[in-house]
Amino acid sequence: MASEGSKRILIVEDEPDIVRGLKDALTFEGFTVEARGTGAEGLSAAADWQPDLVLLDLMLPDDNGYRVCEALRARDPAVPIIILTAKAQEADKVRGLDAGADDYVTKPFSVAELIARINAIFRRQSRMAASDETFAIGPWTVNARKHTITRGRQSKRLTFYELEVLKLLRERADEAVSREELLDKVWGVSAASTNRTVDNFIVKLRRKLEEDQKNPRHILTVYGLGYKLVP
Ligand code: CA
């Protein structure tokens, strides 16, 4: 366990300029930072050092970043993994999220925005102790510790933000929660400062949870307001 206020961030990235910039900025923010330049070194550092969050480049000299992501995820179902990618293709982002990443930033990225997202992740995590570990939505059981939803033998992984959206909707079950509130409480940003929409995450959650995405029964749109969860 890292001491409070000194979260550990592991950077797995081989581009020296990016490593230097990130290391300086994150250290200045009060994080403890380690950096490794290959997938093998990154995995070994993750095992030895138990970081609180991983920033992972997809294009590493020795290994495919997706494989590193899967290996990190297999070790620890909950550690937030943010992919750093020069690939702007939607398919690569989807593949990264499928490999167990929680989020991605596309190079060149704003360090300030990345830090804001990291801080929001840690803020939400510190609230997690207060929330239930498992809860039901229709036929699914959500496990907040394992980041999974299960139904019989079927199990799907939720990314960090998918889970956080679901938890916030669940805290306010049967009430409408506005997009602005979701952005503010989950991402810690105002609607104007981000290009990612809450709607995209709702689509992903419906894909995982709903029998019929066109006629959702659990994650409902409240026109003009936002969304509400009907467990
Ligand atoms: Ca690289």
pLDDT in tens, 42-76: 999 999 999 999 999 988 998 788 999 999 988 88
Q: What is the pLDDT of residue 108?
A: 85
Enumerate the CATH 3.40.50.2300 domain ranges in the chain, comma separated: 8-126
Q: What is the pLDDT of residue 217?
A: 97
Alpha carbon of 172 to ligand 1 centroid (Å): 42
Alpha carbon of 10 to ligand 1 centroid (Å): 15
Residue 12 has pLDDT above 90, yes or no: yes
Enumerate the CATH 1.10.10.10 domain ranges in the chain, comma separated: 128-229
Q: Which two tokens stand for residue 193?
A: 């400062």
Q: What is the pLDDT of residue 122?
A: 86
Alpha carbon of 175 to ligand 1 centroid (Å): 44
Mean pLDDT for the chain? Answer: 87
Residue 197 has pLDDT above 50, yes or no: yes
Q: What is the pLDDT of residue 121?
A: 83
Alpha carbon of 193 to ligand 1 centroid (Å): 27
Side-chain-facing half-sphere of 190: CA atoms under 13 Å: 2
The model carries a pTM of 0.75
CA dihedral for 46, 47, 53, 57, sign (positive or negative) = positive
Alpha carbon of 5 to ligand 1 centroid (Å): 29
Q: What is the pLDDT of residue 130?
A: 54
Lowest mean pLDDT among 92-96, 106-110, 176-180, 198-202: 92-96
Alpha carbon of 215 to ligand 1 centroid (Å): 42
Lowest mean pLDDT among 48-57, 150-159, 169-178, 193-202: 193-202
In 76-132, which residue ranges form alpha helices assigned H by DSSP? 90-98, 111-128
57: left (phi over 0), alpha (psi -120 to 50) or beta: beta
Q: What is the pLDDT of residue 191?
A: 52
Alpha carbon of 170 to ligand 1 centroid (Å): 39
Q: pLDDT tens digits, residue range 114-159?
A: 998 898 888 877 666 555 689 999 999 999 888 899 999 999 988 8
Alpha carbon of 11 to ligand 1 centroid (Å): 12
**Between 197 and 199, the higher pLDDT residue:** 199
Provide the pairing of β-strand 53-57 with 32-36. Answer: unpaired
Q: pLDDT tens digits, residue range 148-165?
A: 999 999 999 888 888 889
Alpha carbon of 13 to ligand 1 centroid (Å): 6
Residue 5 has pLDDT above 70, yes or no: no
Q: What is the pLDDT of residue 132?
A: 62
CATH for 128-229, among 3.40.50.300, 1.10.10.10, 3.30.70.270, 1.50.10.10?
1.10.10.10
Alpha carbon of 26 to ligand 1 centroid (Å): 19
Lowest mean pLDDT among 7-21, 187-201, 215-229: 187-201
The CATH classification number of 8-126 equals 3.40.50.2300
Alpha carbon of 220 to ligand 1 centroid (Å): 41
How far apart, in whole angstroms, are the C-alpha atoms of residue 46 and residue 153?
Answer: 30
Alpha carbon of 60 to ligand 1 centroid (Å): 5
Residue 189 has pLDDT above 90, yes or no: no
Alpha carbon of 22 to ligand 1 centroid (Å): 14
Alpha carbon of 58 to ligand 1 centroid (Å): 7
Alpha carbon of 118 to ligand 1 centroid (Å): 21
Q: What is the pLDDT of residue 2?
A: 41
Q: Which of 165, 160, 195 is nearest to 182 (CA)?
A: 165
